[in-house]
Amino acid sequence: AAKQDGRGCARIFNRSMLLLLEQRENLRRNLRMALERNELYLEYQPLIRAPASVVGFEALLRWRHPEVGTIPPSVFIPIAEADGLMDEIGRWVIEEACRQATRWPSSLTVAVNLSPAQFLSGSLTDTVAQIIDAVGIRADRLELEITETVLLEQTVDNIDTLNTLNVLGIRIALDDFGTYYSSLSYLKNFPFDILKIDRYFVKDLETDRKSQTIVRSIIGMAHGLGISVTAEGVETPEQAQWLIREDCDYLQGDFLGRPLGAEATRDFVRRSPKEVIRQRGEEIGRS
């Protein structure tokens, strides 16, 4: 019986593997059409300057699949990357995010994530300059987020790209800091304006002395280099309070605001987010 169970398991395992592959293949085919069918959309998560003022939003990509429902970017972006679709999708994201931002008060910024393919395409700076021009948004309202994986090859081209974006007035954030290779030479050689500490170090800040030491050190190092720090994934008033006490510049996370659709984001800024944020500020003060 044991043997049969074993075989049964293997059969089930293979079958589910097959289903997964079919699903992936299915997603791949549908993703090619998703843009045209308006199935891709953006949500916007508030970025907060400590202690409690909204300074902008990060655009986060979603796919409203007609059968499967909403698919998160962690599932379909790797497929889009592998299929060479991320350049086109990424361009759409930048344009859509900039267009939405023109409908917010002009003091608010918009942050857009860049995929490695987009960054390495060679046409990024031209694309971004064109979009900014076409949409009519001030360059200093746009922030681009890249991860360390993009920079693995510290070529002159990479540095040029970042310098050109900087000269245009666009801010560059190093996203998910601490989770990949975290080579400190990146901080020395690339012109970052903002460093985003990954959620991995924020989630246990209340209890884990090691996370506390790491986060404290990152903040000190960044400030020494003239770089601002954002903490990702802030979920509790205690985490927010700790980060503010340690001089973290910006906070982002479900405690301060979950990602909202475009319309809800416009409502949020129109209603003046001050009230929401004042409440959060009081909670931080109390904890």
Find out whether 145 and 152 touch, Cβ atoms under 8 Å.
Answer: no
Judged by beta carbon, residue 199 or residue 223, the one nearer ligand C2E is 199
Structure tokens at 30: 């549908």
With CB under 5 A as the contact rule, the residue among 43, 95, 176, 249 that binds Mg ion is 176
Candidates 27-35, 102-110, 111-119, 276-284: pick the segment binding ligand C2E (CB under 6 A). Answer: 111-119
Question: Min. distance of Cβ 11 from Mg ion in angstroms?
Answer: 38
Candidates 6-14, 212-220, 232-240, 263-271: pick the segment binding ligand C2E (CB under 6 A). Answer: 232-240
With CB under 6 A as the contact rule, the residue among 176, 190, 240, 242 that binds ligand C2E is 176
Judged by beta carbon, residue 254 or residue 267, the one nearer ligand C2E is 254
The footprint of ligand C2E on residues 35-74 (CB under 6 A) is 45, 60-61, 72-74
The footprint of ligand C2E on residues 262-281 (CB under 6 A) is none
- CB neighbours of 106 closer than 8 A, spacing ≥ 6? 138, 141
Q: Measure CA 31 to chain center.
A: 21
Judged by beta carbon, residue 148 or residue 175, the one nearer Mg ion is 175
Cα-based distances in Å from 237 to 59, 125, 251, 258, 283? 24, 39, 11, 15, 6
Task: Decide if residue 260 touches ligand C2E (CB under 6 A).
Answer: no
DSSP codes of every residue in 250-275: EE-STTT---B-HHHHHHHHHT-THH
Taking the C-alpha atoms of residue 84 and residue 78, their distance in angstroms, rounded to an integer, is: 10
Task: Decide if residue 145 touches Mg ion (CB under 5 A).
Answer: yes
Taking the C-alpha atoms of residue 27 and residue 56, their distance in angstroms, rounded to an integer, is: 32
With CB under 6 A as the contact rule, the residue among 46, 178, 237, 253 that binds ligand C2E is 253
Find out whether 122 and 152 touch, Cβ atoms under 8 Å.
Answer: no
Q: Is 232 helix (H, G, I), strand (E, B) or coil?
A: coil
Judged by beta carbon, residue 97 or residue 240, the one nearer Mg ion is 97
Binding positions for ligand C2E, rule: CB under 6 A: 45, 60-61, 72-74, 77, 90, 93, 113-115, 145, 175-176, 199, 232-235, 253-254, 259
